[in-house]
Structure 1
């Protein structure tokens, strides 16, 4: 072999190594947009934090319609993104089909389990965080009626509602918990007008604390609560800042950490497939306290919620998971 051939061979190997090392992670933002002030925005914040801390870049796509799910997933894999992070349970069936076609690409799905060798499934114990939110609602309620506005009527959102109801009833067994879902299609995630209408109807039935788990629709719920002078509980991201003085808390779900960790673990060559559960013990779910709601949560309320949190982590309180059997204790 000539010296020229050796040099060309070494250059090719170097380029190959650099190419594999330079694989950028990818993020597919779900319907509702990356500035939904909730689930998607939390994911986007995690990706941006990773970008700022590492100086590296990532690929990003925002879904505009259901029809784009498969095409977007395939296109990102073919562009060389690794891992590809997809958000939301609605991507599960698509990923089941797509992942086997790209065995050298790792995928992360947030909020659902996909059993494929190259998929990391990140799920949260939303029922536990919602239980604490329900306790806070019941402790803050003066009317003895609290309410819940969900987005799309799916088992995952009923999991939030069921945890909330259990927490409220743990404080006051006689409390009334009104539940409404916004709709049965993905449009239910981005309908703040309908969210506001549902909230006004709940207020007319006596609710003085409302919990929104509805993506962009929740913006209308929280706004109406502020306008009508009742307390509200946000979801996924810390939404306390949106209406200081009426936001009792937010049930924070650390989607940002899930995205950040997927990107970072791939960067450090320690990405692991399989199921990862982010719970109260790992701060995967939590209730948000800050300067915006400090005046609404007194020490007694906080100590009762903290006590329940410790008991849930220790296994002394078991919060029923709606998705385990599609039912909620009455």
Structure 2
């Protein structure tokens, strides 16, 4: 009897050992599976992931990338202040991400520093080009934001009743210049068609995150006679739209269709779909294509900028005329300015 019991115990122990071996094999399989994952992460600028603007649009692009590509995984980290950039980039690199996105030109230095320390990781940045100094493992992404800005400027001039409109920028720089001067040129172009003078009040919030500041500036513009204000200021623009709603005037949104923020008070939006670029370039990287060392530029021809197809507050005749302007930009008949110099030349 004792021999039988001993034999049974030996058999059970062997079974348990086999069970442990089986569990170990599954763990290894999981490890092999995780290696097939392509992890991509983005670090926001100080506007945050819910800025109703380009950070949010970029995150939507990564979510779409994950949804449409088997094995793709996406995540993000928010930066509350500029000092978070380097720390957050370190965190996503340590997390095993193969492609790391920095959202916004303010992250340009942090991206180059991180890329230099991690040559085996691919990086991409929205709204920045390093030109011929682009590191081999970094990709720049730029937009011809002057194109949709010209279009919404044209819309503003064709819609204004006071012949005075406004522009509120976040922080002055090459990127926001595209919006400002494209918009001013669009207003000027339509004013010439109409045979009237239309002025553009331009102010900067010196922030991309302070919605209350955007609201205060917009309130002053509306009280001084502007009936339409276009913003290119990230989360600051949420305040601009709130001011338009309270004053019963019009705001023009940016980056995404922002009509949902104030359906009766958003005239249209200058779309800059960073989601399109982020998804496309992430897919290229995952496919093994070389994306580093260069800059991708997106505009009307790439269907990455424009205005929404539905603009319930816009006169249909104005929309039709604006699409004709869009066609002229596409075929090169109109080349919207992107800075002060090209704006001055455009006006001649």
Provide the TM-score with structure 1 as the length reference: 0.88
Change (3 A) 1:328 1:159: farther
Structure 1 residues 305-329: Cα deviation after superposition (integer angstroms, max 9, x where no partner): 1111111111111111118779786
Matches within 5 A, 1:97-108: 97-108=113-124
**Which sections of structure 2, spanning at least 5 residues, go unmatched?**
1-27
Structure 1 residues 162-195: Cα deviation after superposition (integer angstroms, max 9, x where no partner): 1000000100042100011002xxxx11111111
Alpha-carbon contact 1:59-1:81 (below 8 Å) kept: no
Residue 132 of structure 1: CA displacement? Answer: 0.2
> 1:215 is paired with a residue of what secondary structure?
coil
> 2:263 is paired with a residue of what secondary structure?
coil
Quote the residue 2:266 is aligned against: 247
Quote the residue 1:82 is aligned against: 98
Task: Give the alignment partner of residue 26 of structure 1, picking from 19, 41, 59.
Answer: 41
> 1:117 is paired with a residue of what secondary structure?
coil
2:218 is aligned with 1:203: no
**Which sections of structure 1, spanning at least 5 residues, go unmatched?**
1-12
> 1:41 is paired with a residue of what secondary structure?
helix
Change (3 A) 1:323 1:123: farther
Larger radius of gyration: 2
Task: Give the alignment partner of residue 150 of structure 1, picking from 141, 146, 169.
Answer: 169
Task: Give the alignment partner of residue 299 of structure 2, picking from 258, 272, 279.
Answer: 279
Change (3 A) 1:328 1:31: farther
> 2:52 is paired with a residue of what secondary structure?
coil
Quote the residue 1:68 is aligned against: 84
Matches within 5 A, 1:128-167: 128-167=147-186
2:318 is aligned with 1:301: yes
Q: Please provide the CA RMSD for this pair.
A: 2.4
Task: Give the alignment partner of residue 178 of structure 1, picking from 183, 194, 201.
Answer: 201
Number of matched pairs: 312
Alpha-carbon contact 2:57-2:273 (below 8 Å) kept: yes
Residue 68 of structure 1: CA displacement? Answer: 1.8
> 1:180 is paired with a residue of what secondary structure?
strand
Alpha-carbon contact 1:30-1:87 (below 8 Å) kept: yes
Provide the TM-score with structure 2 as the length reference: 0.83
Residue 110 of structure 1: CA displacement? Answer: 0.5
Residue 112 of structure 1: CA displacement? Answer: 0.1
2:314 is aligned with 1:314: no
> 1:248 is paired with a residue of what secondary structure?
strand
